[in-house]
Structure 1
């Protein structure tokens, strides 16, 4: 199976979620099932069925996270030399050549991307256009609204 790139912060967030699911959520659900069982007939016991469904979701998410962490290639960009080249984990500051607006994005793994937090997937069109380019170079990014030209103003490893 292929390894998927993930930032150190992304891996830490998944580990935190996994710890919470195993130490807090899983015991809560087990208690809810035990309480619901005490109410008698399980066929018509909505609390029991809801708790069992919640247990299924929780166990599924635990397996999902364990699988992702098991297949992750964790990259700590702060430990890599910064030679001005855009790589996975870099935070890239771009200048829109037409509008003169600046924007920064961190290039992260698929599961970590969150446009509101300016984290974009390494597989997104903009990240694919940026990876491998150098600071001060110009790139064209095809967007739904057409082609946008950017200048790479800065590449940071933060």
Structure 2
């Protein structure tokens, strides 16, 4: 299986969620199951079935996070020698050439992407167009509504 790129912050966030699930959520669910079992007949015990469903969800998420972390290639953008080029993890300010609208995006892995937080996936059309370019370059992004041109205004590695 190929390695999946992940920023340092993204890896820390996943590790924190994994720790929370293993040390807080899992024991709480086990206690809920034990309490529900004490109430007797399990066939018609809604509390027991709800706790088992929560357990299934939590264990699934634990497995998912462990899988992601085991296949992750954690990239610390602050240690890269990118020479002003747009690379994975870089924060880029771009301006739509026609609309003169500026936006700032950080290029991250698919699991970290959140457009409302200004983080776009490395696989997105905008990120693919920006990778390898530098300040002053104009890139063309193929969008559903047609081609959009963006000028790169700044590149930061934070």
TM-score (normalised: structure 1): 0.98
Out of 62-71 and 92-101, give the one that drifted further.
92-101
Q: Is 1:126 the equivalent of 2:126?
A: yes
Counterpart of 1:26?
26
Out of 85-94 and 139-148, give the one that drifted further.
139-148
In 2, the alpha carbon distance for the partners of 1:19 and 1:58 equals 12
Counterpart of 1:10?
10
Residues matched between the structures, number: 158
In 1, the alpha carbon distance for the partners of 2:63 and 2:78 equals 29
In 2, the alpha carbon distance for the partners of 1:150 and 1:60 equals 41
Give the C-alpha shift of residue 136 in structure 1.
0.8
* Structure 2 counterparts to residues 36-51 of structure 1, below 5 A: 36-51=36-51
In 2, the alpha carbon distance for the partners of 1:38 and 1:54 equals 18
- Find runs of 4+ consecutive structure 1 residues off by over 2 angstroms: none
SS at 1:5 equivalent: strand
SS at 1:112 equivalent: coil
Structure 1 gaps of 5+ residues are none
Is the CA contact 1:82–1:156 (under 8 Å) kept in the aligned structure 2?
Answer: no
TM-score (normalised: structure 2): 0.98
Question: Per-residue displacement from partner, 1:6-45 (whole Å, max 9, x unpaired)?
Answer: 0000000000000000000000100000000011000000
In 1, the alpha carbon distance for the partners of 2:44 and 2:83 equals 65
In 2, the alpha carbon distance for the partners of 1:131 and 1:47 equals 51
In 1, the alpha carbon distance for the partners of 2:121 and 2:69 equals 17
1:68/1:13 CA distance change after superposition, 3 Å: same
In 1, the alpha carbon distance for the partners of 2:115 and 2:67 equals 24
Give the C-alpha shift of residue 105 in structure 1.
0.3
Counterpart of 2:104?
104
